[in-house]
A = this chain, B = another copy of it.
Amino acid sequence: MPDIAIGELAARSGVSVSAIHFYERKGLVESRRTAGNQRRFAREALRRIAIIRMAQQLGIPLADIARMFAALPEPGRATRRDWQAMSRRWAADLDRRIALLQSLRGHLDDCIGCGCLSLARCNLLNPKDALSASGTGPVRLRQRNG
């Protein structure tokens, strides 16, 4: 099974052709060209796109994914260990997100209890408690900013 055309890659990976063009422009996937200037993708591209989609579900922006990919060794030469490292980093990220959501969820229970009618009483809306030390207003969690 040789390289595949973009249409097939799109069909197999579940993303649109235009999205693949876009990913290529962003350096997320690579292709070689046929004599007639058509793209041909190695099977690796299929995995890359799968990883892109997965990472997006985790809320990771394409730029970050691109950086991760860039940190891999030569294209096509990524070792099992490399992919594992990537997975581990994402797992850690995920854990952080889950923890944040769960903390928020806990506050929301308080909120349901108080009916949110009193700024003074509501734990979630009132920034004047322990959690607000890091900024103005009800800044409780601030995802991805560096």
Contacts and interface: CB of A to CB of B under 8 A. Distances in A.
A14 B43 CA distance: 48
A105 B117 CA distance: 36
Interface residues of A, number: 53
B112 A84 contact: yes
Contact of A137 (B13, B81, B115): B13
Number of copies: 2
Contacts of A11: 136
Interface of A: 11-15, 43, 46-47, 49-51, 53-54, 57-58, 79-81, 83-84, 86-88, 90-91, 94-95, 97-98, 100-102, 104-105, 108-109, 111-112, 115-117, 119, 124-127, 135-141
